[in-house]
Every structure is written in C-alpha cells, then in structure tokens.
Amino acid sequence: MMELAKLVGKIQESVTMAFDKKAKDMKASFPETIILAAGEPDFAPPQVVIEATAEAAKTGKTKYTPVKGIVPLLQAIGKHIKTSRGLEYDPVTQIMTTNGGKEGIFLALAAVVNPGDEVLIIKPYWTSYPEMVKLVGGIPYFVDAKDLGKIVGILEHSQIKAIILNSPSNPSGMVISPSELKKLAQVLADKNIWVISDEIYSPIVYGANVHASIAQFPGMQEKTILLDGASKAYAMTGYRLGYALGPKEVIAAMAKFKSQISSCASSISQYAALAALENCTEDVKKMKAAYENRRNGIIVPFAKAAGLEYMEPQGAFYFFFKIPGENPDDLKFCEDLLEQEKLGLVPGMAFGYPGWVRLSFAASPGELAEGLSRLARFLGK
C-alpha cells in the first residue's frame, strides 16, 4: 500500500462516534441494549420542520444555494441572534450557514489559525476541538476548567492565537456566567486573540443559569466567531445545519473555504431550518423543559444517592461523573459496562478527562431510569 499523508497518523477518530457505533452494534445483537452515548436529542424535529422539509423537496428547493445560504435564512438567523443575544449582524456579509455546527468550528479555525499557532481549549472539551486544531496545523493548549483562574496568565502567552469557548459545555454541562464572561472579555480587551464561541446548546440552560455570548461584551463582537445551529435546539442533528456569525472578513474567508469544500449547506435543510427559526420557539422550550425534568427528577437524585463526584449539569444534556476509586480506567469501564450491562456510555478520555464518564440524558425517562439502574448495579451501589 502506498504511503498516506502524515497528518492521518496525527488525528484521532471521534471517540464519541466510535463508541456510539460500538453500542449500536451491541444493540443489533442484543436489543435490550440502552445507548446513552450519542449527543443528540431523543425528540423528532417539530412538525412544522418536517412539513417544511417535504415541501422543500416537492417544490424543487433541491438545487445548490449560494455558499453562505439562502437570504431569508440568513435574515432569520440575524433576527434570532438579535432577539436572543441583542447582537446585530449584517445577514449578507456577517452570517453564513454551515454543514452542521461542526463544519463551522472547523472553518472558523481554518480562517484564523496559522501553522504553529496555539489554540486554548478548556478541559473537559468537546472531543473534536483538539483534532480540528491539529487539522489546520495549530497546536492545542489545554487548561483545566478547575484552573480558569490561571487563564489571565496563559493568555499573555504570545503564541495563543485563539480560544475556544463552549457554553453550555459538552461534556460537563458547565455554563459560563455573564460575570465570568465579562471578566474574560476584560482580559481579552487589549489582546489579539480570536474567540471561537461554540454556542450550539444555547437554549438549553437550567434553573437560574442564563446563556450569554462573549460577543455581547464591549469590544468582543469584532473578535468573536459565534457558532450555533439547528442540531440540538430543534432536534435536527441529521439535517446538518449550523451557522456562523462574525466580522465580515472572517465570514468571507470561511465562505471562500466552504466554496471549495462543500459548496453550500443542504438546500432542503436550509428551508427546514428557516421554518424552525420562524415557528418553533415553543417547541424548543418544551424540549428544554423535558431535559430539565429528567435532570432534576432522575439524574441529580441518582448522582446524590450513588454518592458520585460529578459536574453539575447547568445546561446541555449531559451528566459527567467520575468513576469511584483510585486511577479508574474509563475506557475499560465503558467497555465492560457495555459488555456486562448492555449500557453504552462514553469514556472521559474522549474529552481529555480520563477517569470520568459521560452519560447523555437525551433519552426517554423510562430508558434513562433503566440505564441508571444498570449503572448502579455495575457500580455496586
């Protein structure tokens, strides 16, 4: 076999996707398998989205669109961001759609990171950030969420070109409060550091927590590339529809790359996302309320009763907990759990946090309760 590019050996496959597949293979042989591994809503998309999808296909909305997306959708995204964050963006020059939020993050990194630049990533992180940074030739620079106090010193580091923020966070559920964002914005004020703000879970925040974007703080809109999308908010993961907002030079650069890589987001998904943004505020609230009920009624009581160390899910739909004991092997834990109890979870190593495990509570209460009782049995609780 002829030689492959050196980069192939440097990049890891997505551990979350690999584990999800493993669990799905197990389910094919053992239908009783419960999978709480994938990061996707258990709901179907709202009915109007499904209707708009069919309508788009029937009425010939099946051709290439402009690279950034159809204008009505760009306008709807602009309106949504104005309503939710109070931020103004020009739909034509400062907003674009992407193939899922994932492509938006990659394009943003490609647009601002030079080979050898360091990109600050907070641990536990979403599994794809370090690999995407490496794909564009950058170097991931990690800081633990527990050590955020050290961030000021780290940001003085001259090689740091960008920082990735993810609030609410996958996998920890952590929400960065407006006062923390304000402090961070003050630190960044006199620095030439881009912020890539992954806000894909923006509407899913619990209790007194609120979602805010760092772009809302003085001087930050010009330095921030804000990423969000339809996947989590509207249960539209398979539609692959994300969006990016930022300074027009950055959006132009991202669109230039996109024009050579994937041309445009799916036309049908764009019309479906337009319907979602225009009609589905109530559906989003209902889904959020369902996650919150599971969190309050099932997850937190379980974690307390089992005496687990865990990160409080302030948003998103993940329960991230530490395996009890000294130096636990999270990979083995998840493999054995799948094998013995037919329960699929994701090892913390996927998020730069060995010894920890992520459970998604985007699952029906019945499945969740059964999954947790298997977990309790496996933990000997």
Ligand X SMILES: Cc1ncc(COP(=O)(O)O)c(C=O)c1O
Residues of this chain that interact with ligand X (CB under 6 A) are: 39, 100-102, 126, 166, 170, 198, 200, 229, 231, 237, 242
Name which of 311, 327, 308 is nearest 379 in CA terms.
Answer: 308
Peptide bond into 168 cis (omega under 30): yes
Task: Find the shortest distance in angstroms from Cβ 272 to ligand X.
Answer: 13
- Cα–Cα distance for residue pair 57/54, rounded to 1 Å: 5
Q: Which is nearer to ligand X, 200 or 357 (CB)?
A: 200
Residues in the chain: 381
Name which of 126 and 271 has its Cβ closer to ligand X: 126
Closest approach of ligand X to the CB of residue 337, in Å: 21
Tokens of 57: 């296909």
Classify each residue of 198-236 as buried b or exposed e, where b means 16 or more C-beta atoms within 10 Å of its C-beta. Answer: bbbbbbbbbeebebbbbbbbeebbebbbbbbbbbbbbbb
120: its two tokens = 């600050």
Which segments of 211-247 does DSSP mark as H helices, in order? 230-233
The least CB distance from residue 58 to ligand X, in Å, is 25
- By three-state DSSP, how is residue 26 classified? helix
CB of 83 to ligand X, least distance (A): 21
What is the DSSP pairing of strand 318-322 with strand 139-144? unpaired
For residue 346, give both structure tokens.
């994701």
d(CA 349, CA 335): 13
Q: Partners of 144 in the beta sheet?
A: 123
- Coil, strand, or helix at residue 114? coil
Nearest distance in Å: CB 175, ligand X = 13
Nearest approach, Cβ of residue 171 and ligand X (Å)? 8
Of 105 and 160, CB closest to ligand X: 105
> CB nearest ligand X: which residue?
100
Provide, rounded to whole angstroms, the least separation between the CB of residue 154 and ligand X: 21
The token pair that represents 159 in the structure block = 């090689």
In angstroms, the CA 111 to CA 107 distance is: 6
Residue 187, CA distances (Å) to 333, 344, 374 in order: 40, 41, 46
Residues 6+ away with beta carbon under 8 Å from 234: 45, 46, 49, 273, 276, 280, 283, 284
CB of 170 to ligand X, least distance (A): 4
In the complex, minimum distance from the CB of residue 244 to ligand X, in angstroms, rounded to a whole number? 11
